[in-house]
Structure 1
Amino acid sequence: MKKQRLISALTIAAVVAAGGLAVAQQASNVKSLRGSQVDEYVPLEDNYRQEEKRFVRNYRQQPPLVPHQIDSYQIDLSANQCLACHDWSNAGERGAPTLSMTHYLDRDGNQLDSVAGTRWFCNQCHVPQAEAPALVDNTFNPSN
């Protein structure tokens, strides 16, 4: 019985080894999506920095772009650091633009004293601005 198990284990090992060899041979024919070998050095493209000046909007009702770093800002269900400066109660003393009154309306159009839950996650509409080339070609033209 032990001899039979040993023979079965050796047979399985041989089949797995043969399969592995076939896979390794096929892997030598794999082409890279980036057009270079795995061990070849590929220089990185330029890293574009955020611009501090305000960009003009490209169309009416475009959410303003964020002209400062927000990498370390906490924006989740329990906190929103954007409101420390941009909430109507803080903006004046901080010298920051206030939120539009639409941010204080609920789904039914009722005026609220705090930011509506539908407008809580600022970075779903407002993104940091950077002078960088378009990632995808497009034919967009700003409105007049």
Structure 2
Amino acid sequence: MKTLVKLSLATLLSVAACWGTAQTLSSIRGSDVSTVDQAPEIKNYQGSKPGGQALIQRTFAQQPPLIPHKVDGFDDITAEENTCLDCHIHKEVRGQKIPQIKESHLIKPVNADAPQVHNSRWQCNSCHVPQIDAKPLVENVFKGNAKK
């Protein structure tokens, strides 16, 4: 009886293994899984130079503000160097009122006059993103609610 159970189990496992390898894989992107990925088309950021356009309306509560201007040519953001702060650490730059970095992002050491960005908040473009005109990769039926 034990031999029959072992033989049946071995047969079942062999059939399952063969069936698994016979299945074809399909991908969400609609091409064969083994197809080499193509680099996406490079899209330009919307907007113009900073200060040249209106702020983008938020679509849900607690949404980080979106970047309404181009960021092409900006230096990479590092913990030591952050081009965003050149403008957004101040309330006004060259006579223009601009969104200022929020208190939640800052620390103020005891012996410092100027606020400093908290160590966990210096990577601005992790939450704040510039916009491009691109076709969505997947269907999106999200309807925002801009109510405050």
| Cα distance change, pair 139–105 in 1 and its aligned pair in 2 (3 A) | farther
Q: Which residue of 1 aligns with 2:134?
A: 132
TM-score, normalised via structure 1 length: 0.55
TM-score, normalised via structure 2 length: 0.54
Match of 1:120 among 119, 122, 129: 122
Match of 2:106 among 104, 107, 130: 104
Report if aligned partners of 1:103, 1:115 keep a CA contact under 8 Å in 2.
Answer: yes
Q: Deviations over 1:29-78 (max 9, x none)?
A: xx7738xxxxxxxxx86945513543211111111111112232221132
Normalized per residue, the structure richer in strand is 2
**One-letter amino acid of the counterpart of residue 59, structure 1:** F
Normalized per residue, the structure richer in helix is 1
Can you give the 5+ residue segments of structure 2 that lack an aligned partner in the other structure?
A: 1-31, 109-113
Q: How many residues align?
A: 99
Q: Which residue of 1 aligns with 2:47?
A: 51
Q: Which residue of 2 aligns with 1:17?
A: none
| Cα distance change, pair 137–116 in 1 and its aligned pair in 2 (3 A) | same
Q: Tell me the distance in 2 between the aligned counterparts of 1:46 and 1:83.
A: 27
| Cα distance change, pair 87–45 in 1 and its aligned pair in 2 (3 A) | closer
| Cα distance change, pair 61–79 in 1 and its aligned pair in 2 (3 A) | same
* 2:35 counterpart of 1:33: yes
Q: Tell me the distance in 1 between the aligned counterparts of 2:66 and 2:93.
A: 21
Q: Deviations over 1:6-42 (max 9, x none)?
A: xxxxxxxxxxxxxxxxxxxxxxxxx7738xxxxxxxx
**One-letter amino acid of the counterpart of residue 62, structure 1:** Q
| Cα distance change, pair 105–136 in 1 and its aligned pair in 2 (3 A) | farther
Seq. identity, %? 37
Q: Which residue of 2 aligns with 1:9?
A: none
Can you give the 5+ residue segments of structure 1 that lack an aligned partner in the other structure?
A: 1-30, 35-43, 107-111
Q: Tell me the distance in 2 between the aligned counterparts of 1:130 and 1:62.
A: 18
Secondary structure (helix, strand or coil) at the match of 2:117 reads coil
Q: Which residue of 1 aligns with 2:11?
A: none
Q: Which residue of 2 aligns with 1:69?
A: 70
| Cα distance change, pair 77–46 in 1 and its aligned pair in 2 (3 A) | closer
| Cα distance change, pair 98–49 in 1 and its aligned pair in 2 (3 A) | closer
The alignment's C-alpha RMSD in Å is: 2.9
